[in-house]
Structure 1
Amino acid sequence: MVNSDQEQAEVISACLLAGRILVENGSEISRAVDTMERIAKNAGMDSVQLFVTVTGIMLSVDNQPNAQVAGISHRTIDLDKVARVNELSREFAVHKIKLSQMVSRLDEIDNNTPTFPFWQKLLASGLLSAVLLIVFTKEFIDAPAGFVIGAIGYAVFYFFNRQFKVQFISEFFASLVIGILAALAVKLGLGVYLDNIIIGGVMPLVPGVPITNAVRDTVAGNLISGPARAVEALLSSIAIGCGIVCVLHFL
């Protein structure tokens, strides 16, 4: 049982921080709710009420006058952070760590989790483009062009996203560059099928995780977060499509 207001505040802080990290980094809402409830229960606080969306988390405790809120201002995909929070929750459940240690480690996960260097992301994007081009089109001849153009497209997306912080604009310009480069590759004889190169090149931009989470949240009954994520994925798809259409219109 939680025996003091200070302990209760620490539990609430841990729940909100864990939930925020999960939602910000690509977790479905049901996972975030389940993790927060488990943390509270394992800390001896059973009377927790949660309301979680993709833009904020609200937590209240019975017999307490005020609810606590954590805003979510940005979202990305970092499943390493999601896995680390889940593992930390399991360690707390079996009493391997104390509550104060969990809060400290959650803060470390939030601020100091290492990420892959840019060149590795670039290489992975190129490989993804080339491999999926082969998988979807059954053609190998355009794989080298797909590799290079997919990597360049991701680099454009990365640059614009860091500069403007608006994902849809970044995806539009990245797909625009992909379309232009694909057309040039075919014209210069470096590629054969324009459609195949474009299909491979845009694969790193496709919002696969948001679409999956939108379906899972909707099926789980989260009728606010599910449609909201579906709209977000739809806008990303429209931005990508508009960039390609702009290029094809002038060919």
Structure 2
Amino acid sequence: MADERHINLAVYVALLAGKILIENGSNMERVNDTMNWIAKNAGLKNFQAFTTLTGMVASASNQTSTQVTAINRRANDLTKVADVNELSREFGSGKITLRQMKRQLEIIRFRNDSTPVWLQCLAAAILSISLMVVFTGDRQDLAPAFIIGGLSYAVYLVINQHFTIKYIGEFVASLVIAILAILSVHLGLAHQADNIIIGSVMSLVPGVPLTNAARDLVSGNLISGLTRAIEAIITAAAIGCAIVIIIRLM
């Protein structure tokens, strides 16, 4: 019974670590390596795990019981990814026990260490003007791009906070970007709406999912790679469709 409880606990901890990694933007190769590392250092034999972006299944030591966990949300919090990796290394070196790691993982999962909204909007505004200059060379529309980039990202955050429908945040924020950019040109406050739009949408572009999709495909995780690629394509389509709609109407 003691061995069975240990096996079940070790499988649960491995699944919990993998779940936190997936929920916070890790690529699937890191997820699999971390779970296998935990299982190995916990003394599990024949550890097997099937991991996808929406759920995971794992078992070990030829036990008849298999543990399953669902993944219902995904975000990009690389701090939590780094914390899980550090915990797995501490467990592997014997600094913490399996039960201590379980408690620490549960704390990490439910910890709210998100960046303040005002700081996220400020970062989006700075990113907007920086990439507008890099991509277009336009230095005349810095002020409009700064304001529109920050304001549109605030809209994006508010939409995602109140709605669970994916991609609607990117769509509405892109509508705001296109409307404000065109209006600013019509009112004589800016010179090139296209340049402002190019800079402002960059904070909405799914860079992390695209990178992880490429890494998953290269590492052989075809299901996760294709899923992430499709998500990134749909996000890009939502952004593009919103801007095209406003351009056509205005």
- Once residues 95 and 152 of structure 1 are traced to their aligned partners in structure 2, the CA distance between those partners, rounded to angstroms, is 48
Please tell me the residue identity of whatever aligns with 2:164: K
Q: 1:206, CA displacement in angstroms?
A: 0.3
TM-score where L is the length of structure 1: 0.96
Please tell me the residue identity of whatever aligns with 1:43: A
Which runs of structure 1 show a deviation greater than 2 angstroms over 4 or more consecutive aligned residues?
A: none
What is the match of residue 143 of structure 2?
144
Q: Structure 2: which 5+ runs fail to align? A: none
Q: 1:46, CA displacement in angstroms?
A: 3.1
Determine helix, strand or coil for the equivalent of 1:140.
Answer: coil
- The CA deviation string for residues 41-64 of structure 1, in whole angstroms up to 9 with x for no partner, is 111113200111111111011321
| Mapping 1:69-218, distance limit 5 Å | 69-218=68-217
Alpha-carbon distance change, 169 to 113 in structure 1, aligned in 2, over 3 angstroms = closer
Q: Sequence identity, in percent?
A: 49
What is the match of residue 45 of structure 1?
44
- The CA deviation string for residues 139-197 of structure 1, in whole angstroms up to 9 with x for no partner, is 22112211111111111111111111123111111100110000111112221111110
Q: Structure 1: which 5+ runs fail to align? A: none
Q: Which moved more, 1:115-124 or 1:29-38?
A: 115-124
What is the match of residue 221 of structure 1?
220
Q: How many residues align?
A: 250
TM-score where L is the length of structure 2: 0.97
Q: Which moved more, 1:233-242 or 1:39-48?
A: 39-48
Q: 1:113, CA displacement in angstroms?
A: 4.2
- Once residues 68 and 177 of structure 1 are traced to their aligned partners in structure 2, the CA distance between those partners, rounded to angstroms, is 45
Are the equivalent residues in 1 in contact too, given 2:132–2:196 (CA < 8 A)?
yes
- Once residues 167 and 137 of structure 1 are traced to their aligned partners in structure 2, the CA distance between those partners, rounded to angstroms, is 30
Please tell me the residue identity of whatever aligns with 1:153: S
Please tell me the residue identity of whatever aligns with 1:132: L
What is the match of residue 19 of structure 2?
20
What is the match of residue 247 of structure 2?
248
Are the equivalent residues in 1 in contact too, given 2:44–2:61 (CA < 8 A)?
no
- Once residues 79 and 237 of structure 2 are traced to their aligned partners in structure 1, the CA distance between those partners, rounded to angstroms, is 28
- Once residues 2 and 85 of structure 2 are traced to their aligned partners in structure 1, the CA distance between those partners, rounded to angstroms, is 26
